[in-house]
Chain A
Amino acid sequence: MIKQTKHIIKVNQLRKSYEKVEAVKGVSFSVSNGELFGLIGPDGAGKTSIFRILTTLMFPTDGNVSMMDLDVVKDYRFIRNNLGYMPQRFSLYQDLSVEENLAFFARIFGTTIEENYDLIKDIYIQIEPFKKRLAGQLSGGMKQKLALSCALIHSPEILILDEPTTGVDAVSRKEFWEMLIRLKEKGITILVSTPYMDEANMCDRVALIQNGEIMSIDTPAKIIDDFGRKLWAVKSDNIYQLILDLKKMESVDTVFPFGEYLHITSKADEFNEERLISDLEKVGHSNIRIQQIKANIEDCFMQLMQ
């Protein structure tokens, strides 16, 4: 039924304006069949606007978007039947039970829980012991698993997830990504958005987005390779004072805290490490450590923002 296509999602020069604000400013990207593609950026970057257009819930102001080679404006009915969407806000029926929610979504897509049970089994099995419980009374992690099950019950070609891990603890986040990887292995194309930069590494390719514009699209490894300058990690006994002192130094370009270290770049792209240590010792720092390191996605994101 569905035409074989290399790019199952194609977004070309997409724009979306709300009265005064232009939320999406000419965004283009495409997602290959079976790819796990991440849209990475902070709140207000335009991620939800893009997703609402892709899921046919909102019209674009300008530009073309095709899903499965069909136009999101004209062919919305067909697209909806073949798309799973998990919005950011929990949007199931709180006053229906777990089982009733799932049966409801199966039925409106003209299918049954049994027919596509294989697809959701891994996920649903974890909440099945609570199938008589009202959805409103589930914990955050269980709600998420139910929402994902409901988004998958009609065996969609494409799964779109809007910030599924925002506000979720580190353990549940990890479990959620493990579920996504297993779904990808079943051949579903997944488009997911997140404000957590470290999650980029779980995706095949990512688009880094800020203020309605895509800053970079590539594999996480390639984005890191493109950082294109040297980066050092530094620490001393007094991290706050170290931030202030490094920012005062002529040779230093950027200073950003990263865990127990500061990541710094140099204007000349080179540091005399010994000299830097002695300069810092002169202003009272002790136990100074410095080493050159490889950038991570967050370093890249911040560089692109500037």
Chain B
Amino acid sequence: MHFSAYMVNNITMIKNKENIIEVKDLVKKFGNFYANDHLTFEVKKGEIFGFLGANGAGKTTAIRILSGLSYPTSGDVMVAGFDVYKEREKVKKNIGYMSQKFSLYEDLTVKENIRFYGGIYGLSNKYIKEKTESMLERLKMKDIQHSLIGSLPLGWKQKIAFSVAIFHNPKIVFLDEPTGGVDPITRRDFWEMIYEASNNGITVFVTTHYMDEAEYCDRVSIMDRGKIEGLDTPGGLKKRFKSNNMDEVFLKIAR
């Protein structure tokens, strides 16, 4: 069958690439509670990696550790070639982050937000100026560069927030429910931006509650109660859990 041939090709393609995230036996305990219970996985360079799980499964805890905001209780975690115990600042410099809840400053304009984040990452004025131009061009948002972020529709904000999160050309970008509540057309524009970033070599680590979006990922991990219960390509997971789509896979794992 064509499809399985594709699966094999795709997996070999991914396997040949270098690891950008390596997690081995990651444990994070809060008191006696295992929020992350011996997680082991790798993410390849340029991969779109879907990080799924029920509410409270431990996704946010893991993302906080991977982005250098919280220490693991035990286990080895390397992100972009740096150790999350000893090289947190280097980890932070090499990643981008956006979430639905926190993204941009509402009382700054589009351009001021870009300028601000560029400054935070220590980019040169020249780089900021040139990249701002090309970014606004790409987003077709030149006309609104002086508008306050707070005055824009959610979908626009999210597109700008994503562009800002990859403005410093990080090795990895973490997206925590980036498309929640966004209208269906903008949600798809957003995924095209994700594909584009991945094509340019940026690794995308994304969480979502939209199961159709899980299908857009190269590989998907599904967490339940602190553990990874499935990790494969969407095709591989559907086959293993005898499901027609990712929604069924998710229900079988997390219910």
Contact = CB atoms under 8 A, between A and B. Distances in A.
B29 interface: no
Contacts of A237: 6, 9-10
B53 A169 contact: yes
Interface residues of A, number: 39
Interface in B1-58: 2-3, 5-6, 9-10, 53-57
Contacts of A286: 6
Contacts of B129: none
A41 B9 CA distance: 39
B212 interface: yes
Q: Is the contact region of chain B dominated by helix, strand, or loop, or is it mixed?
A: helix
Interface stretch (B90-98, B112-120, B136-144, B178-186): B178-186
B53 A166 contact: no
Nearest to A175: B255
Nearest to B250: A170
Given A237-B6, A287-B2, A305 B209 contact: no
Interface in B205-250: 209-212, 215-216, 234-235, 245-247, 250
B251 A170 contact: yes
Interface residues of B, number: 45
23 contacts: A43-B181, A45-B183, A139-B56, A140-B55, A141-B55, A166-B180, A166-B181, A167-B55, A167-B100, A169-B53, A171-B54, A171-B254, A197-B184, A240-B196, A243-B192, A256-B184, A257-B216, A259-B212, A259-B246, A260-B234, A287-B3, A287-B5, A306-B185
Interface of A: 41-45, 139-141, 163, 166-174, 195-197, 210, 237, 239-240, 243, 256-260, 286-287, 289, 298, 301-302, 305-306
A258 B212 contact: yes
A44 B158 CA distance: 13
Contacts of B191: 257
A167 B180 contact: yes
B78 interface: no
Contact of A169 (B153, B215, B254): B254
